[in-house]
Structure 1
Amino acid sequence: MNDRTNIYSAGGPLFKAWYDLSMQVEKCGLEKSLLELVKIRSSQINACANCLNIHTSDASKAGEAEQRIHLVAAWEEAPCYTPRERAALGWTEHLTQVATKRAPDHVFAALEAEFSPEEQVQLTLAINVINGWNRLAVGFHLYDPALGWAE
């Protein structure tokens, strides 16, 4: 049971705008599987059980292989990711941990080699959105009861 503020009812127009932005990012044109891997990795780094639960389930439902879902935490060593996915996961790691990892040139070069300028911005917005959801979920103890899981 959640004993913290209900962000959906208390958030008002600002939360609605945030929610609408997240829904728009979902439709940005980047591959669904890529977006789910990014969400999983960011949620792992941020220790957000709610978002991990949702996005591992979503990835599986979208046809992502179980092995690839399980190996996201060790993506640098796992041979099952494409260069495009590796660039996205590297960018995700650095932006999710921007205070300590920054966004070094070699990480941006990998991103630039695989993503158009428009896709770079789309991916960065997707990373920002999942990091925001991680913070909302951790801070307000959110969970998705439809998935049969709770803290």
Structure 2
Amino acid sequence: MTSPNAINYLEYVPSVLRRFEAASGEIGNTELEPKLRHLIELRASQINQCAYCVKMHTEEALRDGETDKRVQRITVWRHVEDYTAAEKAAFAWTEALTSLDPATDYKTLRNELRQHYSDAQISALTSAIAMINLWNRMQVSNH
């Protein structure tokens, strides 16, 4: 929900937002699988409490063939068998880069990712996580 005194970023920094959109588009041209991108964007948006983005990424995931069950259970991904080991590694990476904690062992998380993804895919995944966190923060700033 947008606050009545929200800031219209498009009015004041349109070139910045256009560059954000261009970067988002470029991420779509990488080796990152669209269904996985939807799920990591949804998970980061849930953590960041961005209602607008949760709704949008849920709808996009379902539109692109993701199942209701997997979308609904992403918040408990560690406790269900709905996701592959590769997806779970991506979700762990998403959570680590969304909720920054000095105690996080990034080396172990990277090693887990490398069991399933190339460095190019990890780079695309990391870019997508960074971008959704940016968009979430822009949107949440107007709650």
1:49 pairs with one of 48, 51, 62: 51
Whole-angstrom distance in 1 between the partners of 2:22 and 2:5: 25
Alignment partner, residue 62 of structure 1:
64
1:83 pairs with one of 80, 85, 107: 85
Letter in 1 for 2:81: P
Letter in 2 for 1:108: R
3-state SS of 2:101 partner: helix
Q: Give the TM-score normalised by the residue count of structure 1.
A: 0.87
Return the offset for 1:103.
4.3
Aligned 1:77-116 pairs, distance under 5 A: 77-100=79-102, 102-116=104-118
Q: Confirm or deny: 8 A CA contact 1:7 1:140 kept in the other structure.
A: no
3-state SS of 1:98 partner: coil
Return the offset for 1:110.
1.0
Alignment partner, residue 13 of structure 1:
15
Whole-angstrom distance in 1 between the partners of 2:10 and 2:47: 25
Whole-angstrom distance in 1 between the partners of 2:75 and 2:36: 14
3-state SS of 1:95 partner: helix
3-state SS of 1:140 partner: coil
Return the offset for 1:88.
0.6
Alignment partner, residue 30 of structure 1:
32
Q: Which structure 1 segments of 5+ residues have no match?
A: 142-151
Q: Confirm or deny: 8 A CA contact 1:84 1:114 kept in the other structure.
A: yes
Whole-angstrom distance in 1 between the partners of 2:23 and 2:116: 24
Whole-angstrom distance in 1 between the partners of 2:67 and 2:14: 38
Return the offset for 1:18.
1.6
Q: Give the TM-score normalised by the residue count of structure 2.
A: 0.91
> Is structure 2 residue 135 aligned with structure 1 residue 126?
no
Whole-angstrom distance in 2 between the partners of 1:133 and 1:21: 11
TM-align CA RMSD? 1.5
Deviations 1:82-126 (A, max 9, x none): 111111101001111123553432211111111101111110000
Count of residue pairs brought into register by the alignment: 141
Letter in 2 for 1:102: T
3-state SS of 1:64 partner: coil
Aligned 1:128-147 pairs, distance under 5 A: 128-141=130-143
Instruction: Point out 4+ residue stretches in structure 1 off by more than 4 angstroms.
Output: none
Q: Confirm or deny: 8 A CA contact 1:91 1:103 kept in the other structure.
A: no
Q: Which structure 2 segments of 5+ residues have no match?
A: none
Q: Mean Cα displacement is larger for which, 61-70 or 25-34?
A: 25-34
